[in-house]
Amino acid sequence: MRFLHTSDWHLGCRFHGEDLIDHQRKVLDHICATARTQKVDALLIAGDIYDRAIPSLDAVRLFDRALHQLADLGIPTVMISGNHDSAHRLGTGSGLYAKSGVHLRTDPADAARPVLLDDEHGPVAVYGVPYLEPALVRTQLDAETASHQAVLTSALDRIRTDLATRPGARSVVLAHAFITGATTSKSERDISVGGVAHAGADLFDGIDYTALGHLHRPQSVNDRIHYSGSPLAYSFSEANHTKSITLADLPAAGAPTITRHNILADLHLPLARLTGRIEDLLTDPAHEALSEAWLQVTLTDTALPYEAMARLRQRFSKTLDMRHVPAGIPAQATDSPTYRERVRGRGDLDIAHDFITAVRGTPPTTAEAGLLQEAVDDMRVRAQEKETV
């Protein structure tokens, strides 16, 4: 059985103020076209459909268009909610979608209710585990603790119980999580609980194929556990990623055969990074091809040049992010970084620790660090609770 595995569409996301809807529309068209040309038997979409819990109208319209495209393919689609999605909003209408072959799994209670498929080798049970916020689902899943490891363990235990009633069935699990051994990017939202964001790969032992979402770099945890990655880059840290969608061919027995189909070059965001002195960047003909690229520029001049951004944009009109890192000067001798530069890419807990250290002169004690962790966890849980109202 052949699956097309994709995730982390982040519909409605903006890139340093640039609207991505047109790019996302073309990528979704490409995904559906690939499903047709590669004659896949089912699509697996592993969460973060939207970029935010309350998506923009344009994002909702694009998702509605995608639902019609998926239904028109005439093959089953299994989709789960991710940590960026409002599970309740995304799941609205799921019963009706299922009648068109689009199966949304946004409720943890449905994780052990498979979508049943068949091929010449027999049945395949496809289970969708939506993103599980530990503090919110611990009781529902009877988990031992409010951790990612514990709630995923409970969900997989339920899946194995159901799978045991289906002798001979092969198994596929969709999940949205950070699994130990994978590599992160700067654009994924922090999901750490108690300082721990990940869970072990052994949770999925015995599952024939695990289709993961959350991390934006396509990668394999082992021969049966794979991240498809996001189809577009959502930070400059992903500028050198090879974006792809994953084809997984599930045999009668054994590990699936994985093929990464690269996203077409003309669909990529035109991202690039430049580093150097401003005069060199403005005059070097080698950079002419980047005149319309979306740029992150790091200036190495000893002093920050006057009106640097305006000057850069005269040649590179799409300079979206500029940094100043003087070459050859010790960090302590440079001008103090701005608040934005200090917090860029850092989690809430790290920022809170730095604030305490800056104000008081000493880092948080062990007890204080524990209280800060509880506060950060509670803040995220409250945000998730609001999404279900």
Considering the entire predicted model, what is its pTM? 0.84
pLDDT for 383: 59
- Mind giving me the DSSP string for 301-319? -SSPPTTHHHHHHHH-TTE
The amino acid occupying position 24 is Q
At 61, list the tokens: 């319209």
Tens-binned pLDDT, residue by residue, of the chain (389 aa) = 999 999 999 999 999 999 999 999 999 999 999 999 999 999 999 999 999 999 999 999 999 999 999 999 999 999 999 999 999 999 999 999 999 999 999 999 999 999 999 999 999 999 999 999 998 999 999 999 988 999 999 999 999 999 999 999 999 999 999 998 777 777 777 766 656 677 899 999 999 999 999 999 999 999 999 999 999 999 999 988 899 999 999 999 999 999 999 998 888 899 999 999 999 999 999 999 999 899 999 999 999 999 999 999 999 999 999 999 998 765 444 444 555 555 555 567 667 776 776 556 577 777 766 676 667 666 656 655 555 54
pLDDT for 356: 72
Q: How many H-runs (helices) and E-runs (strands) does the chain carry?
A: 11, 19
Give whole-number Cα distances, 274 to 239, 287, 290, 308, 313, in Å.
12, 9, 9, 14, 13
Domains of the chain by range and CATH?
2-267 (3.60.21.10), 271-383 (no CATH)
At 310, list the tokens: 């305006």
pLDDT for 196: 61
Contacts of 38 (CB under 8 A, 6+ apart): 2, 4, 247, 261
At 257, list the tokens: 């055969």
pLDDT for 308: 95
CB-CB contact of 339 with 347 (8 Å): no
pLDDT for 193: 63
Helices (H), 122-171: 134-141, 148-163
Question: What is the DSSP secondary structure assignment for residue 74, as one 8-state letter?
Answer: T
CB-CB contact of 218 with 228 (8 Å): yes
Mode of pairing for the β-strands spanning 198-199 and 178-179: parallel
Phi/psi at 270 (nearest 5 deg)? -80, 65
